[in-house]
Structure 1
Amino acid sequence: MAREIAEQPAALARTIESLRPERTALRKLAADRRMVLFVARGSSDNAAIYGRYLLEVHAGIASGLAAPSVATHYHAQLDLSEALVVCVSQSGETQEIVETQAWAAERGARTVAVTNDGGSSLAGAADVALVTQAGTEIAVPATKSYTAQLAAMAVLAGALAPEPEALDRDLDQVPDEVERLITQRAGVEDAAEQLASTAEALVSGRGIVFGTALEAALKIEETCLRPVRGLSYADLRHGPIAVVDAEHVALLLSAADGPMVSGMTDLAHDLDNRGAASVIGIGGDDGFADAVDVHVAGPALPELIAPLALIVPAQLIVETLARRLGLNPDAPRGLNKVTQTDPSDDHEH
């Protein structure tokens, strides 16, 4: 896992360079489509959440997350003739995602596959395949394949925006920022120490960063075998915040700029006032850093692109925490690299 985290700057650079030429094909494919629907599971679903926010905020296109079971179990007869359906799977062989893409095409959708395997079933059946260049990923927890998917989302949203090249300069900075975060590891050890002190943890982010918060929570759960609640800022405010006490460590993620920083800073103060054992913050601005007990440096990137690097400190924390707990971060208990949702489809492991 540590080695694959370290490979992310190169993987991101390769992926961005490889996918940019697909922008013309993406614009043509989506020319008469009114909405984008994402289909994914697990870490890929968290990448899709980022894609949804970015398409709506940056490209101005209505987007949503589709439930694969609507296709695979309910066989719903939806009219998707105005939809672009984006199916996301690292392996390109998760059966329900492959089946959902075929169902969407039969219902009139145009399809885009986001996968790390150009020879996969998903890539072969899509109208356009965005093949990420993460290289083979051996550790079960997705790291470089996940950030490569985020790069694909940024390219997709850029392609469908009024100015397709508007995000290019910021995207070009991502590999260097990821390299800096990996090298400096600012705050990583202290954050892992705090998380190791209690089994009670919650993770929160908002807006563009929401998918990153869910991915950080998933990584802690699957790699460190800790029950973690990953919640949006809004959902946390609407009740669950009441459970916070001296047994809880809160991990908050924020971009360095944008409309959500002040709210995340207020949340850090509120959690501290409620007696949380510790409040850890990744990213944010100076005010956010001052509001948390342990600050972990985030990327110097604008909010729209920040998630490509903001997850990296969380990956470093999780890998460190797993080893501190005496666990193997490369092969968490009970997990496999390719996951099939239904046991009857679980034939690839």
Structure 2
Amino acid sequence: MTDPLMLQEARQSPDVTRRQLAENADVSRALAAAIRALKPAYAVTIARGSSDHACTVLKYALETQLGLPVASLGPSVHTLYGARLDLRGALVIAVSQSGASPDVVENVRAARESGALTVALVNVEGSDLARAAEFVLPLRGGEERAVAATKSYLASLTALLSVIADLSGDDALLRGLDALPAALEATLALEGQARDLADRYRFAENLIVLTRGLHYGVAQEAALKLKETSGIHAEAYSAAEFSHGPKRLLAEGLPVLAFTPADQAAAATRAALDALQGDGADLRTIGPASGSTLTTPGTGHGLTDTVPSALAFYLFAAHLSLARGLNPDQPPLLSKVTKTR
């Protein structure tokens, strides 16, 4: 039996990362120079779905590495309500696999007209979004046919990191990027463990996904993919926020899947998860922290650590769908490109 496209494309991620790092070097330097000249007071992201979850990771990256506040722009503010936002001097970042959604394209066009520095992270280089933005950072993922995005999401996590490393002078981040392709290759070797972990959840109907810090956008993506490929009602929370009400769900027996960072959020995440286990939570973990149920390879930097974690989850999610007798490439009611206005 041929493996589903979701698995085939996820396994391409080491080569995608190598290609992106090599082929985006010139535009990354040019973008860093433009940001340095502009000195933006804040940044805005525009995206939907998996791309918006990548923007959550980028928000943490820009705020922790550059001290640059980041807000998520609601596309409908412009396309449905007709509001023209004053984004003069802002850094506006749009992320899209297809670059075809009219609402994202129109917001980038309006932002550029208002005087923002606009950047598109996009997989289809000839797309409307690529034409609308001043700078384009190609994801370099090649054709992605699976409805469930994998390699394009992973490429969205990394596309801006060279720029951030340039602006911050963070040599550790550069080393993390250099180490990333090999770390992704090592993650692929964990597919058997991911399949075994997936078997634990084959009859789950609901699932809580938790983490802290840089991995939060990975948790959001995980919850989406569980809905998309297995029909599981999954919700992502910060482990800090979970105690403010949602923790009540543990009394109903909902299992917990958590991402375990090895960065500055590690101790707080571990303390929160230990407390949940003390309350009887059914908990399994994925991430670079030692002792995780599925321990992913570390890269030496918290930002690049998110990528093997997300890849390991994709392997888990694809095998979970198969274990439930489903085809992750054919989720009901969904198509590859969603165009919203």
The TM-score, its normalising length taken from structure 2, stands at 0.93
In 2, Cα distance between equivalents of 1:155 and 1:46: 19
Give the match for residue 346 of structure 1.
none
How far the C-alpha of 1:282 sits from its partner, in A, is 0.5
- Is the 8 Å Cα contact of residues 120 and 137 (structure 2) preserved in structure 1? yes
Which residue among 208, 221, 226 is the counterpart of 2:214? 208
Q: Alpha-carbon deviations, 1:181-218, whole Å to 9, x = none? A: 11133631332122223212100111111101111111
How far the C-alpha of 1:28 sits from its partner, in A, is 3.1
| Range with greater deviation from structure 2 (81-90 or 186-195) | 186-195
Which residue among 124, 139, 149 is the counterpart of 1:142? 149
In 1, Cα distance between equivalents of 2:80 and 2:105: 14
How far the C-alpha of 1:99 sits from its partner, in A, is 0.8
- Is the 8 Å Cα contact of residues 186 and 296 (structure 1) preserved in structure 2? no
Query: 1:43-192 to 2 correspondence within 5 Å?
Result: 43-159=50-166, 161-163=167-169, 167-185=173-191, 187-192=193-198
Q: Aligned in 2, Cα 1:235/1:113: closer, same or farther, shift over 3 Å?
A: same
Give the match for residue 3 of structure 2.
none
Q: Alpha-carbon deviations, 1:236-266, whole Å to 9, x = none? A: 12110111136311010022x2221122222
Give the match for residue 298 of structure 2.
300
Give SS of 2:255's match.
strand
2:9 counterpart letter in structure 1: E
Give the match for residue 227 of structure 1.
233
Which residue among 272, 280, 283 is the counterpart of 2:284? 280
In 1, Cα distance between equivalents of 2:160 and 2:202: 33
- Is the 8 Å Cα contact of residues 99 and 128 (structure 2) preserved in structure 1? yes
Q: Aligned in 2, Cα 1:164/1:298: closer, same or farther, shift over 3 Å?
A: closer
- Is the 8 Å Cα contact of residues 177 and 300 (structure 1) preserved in structure 2? yes
- Is the 8 Å Cα contact of residues 297 and 313 (structure 1) preserved in structure 2? no
Q: Alpha-carbon deviations, 1:305-339, whole Å to 9, x = none? A: 11122101110110000001111111211111111
- Is the 8 Å Cα contact of residues 245 and 274 (structure 1) preserved in structure 2? no
Give SS of 1:91's match.
coil
Is 1:259 aligned to residue 258 of structure 2? no
Q: Aligned in 2, Cα 1:236/1:56: closer, same or farther, shift over 3 Å?
A: same
Is 1:269 aligned to residue 274 of structure 2? yes
In 2, Cα distance between equivalents of 1:188 and 1:245: 27
Q: Aligned in 2, Cα 1:180/1:162: closer, same or farther, shift over 3 Å?
A: closer
Give SS of 2:303's match.
coil
1:304 counterpart letter in structure 2: L
Give SS of 1:195's match.
coil
How far the C-alpha of 1:155 sits from its partner, in A, is 2.5
Q: Structure 1: state its 5+ residue gaps.
A: 290-294, 343-349
Q: Aligned in 2, Cα 1:24/1:153: closer, same or farther, shift over 3 Å?
A: closer
- Is the 8 Å Cα contact of residues 28 and 137 (structure 2) preserved in structure 1? no
How far the C-alpha of 1:165 sits from its partner, in A, is 5.5
Give the match for residue 193 of structure 1.
199
- Counting aligned pairs with the same residue, the percent is 33
| Range with greater deviation from structure 2 (164-173 or 85-94) | 164-173
In 2, Cα distance between equivalents of 1:143 and 1:201: 20
- What is the root-mean-square deviation in Å for CA atoms of aligned residues? 1.6
- Is the 8 Å Cα contact of residues 50 and 153 (structure 1) preserved in structure 2? no
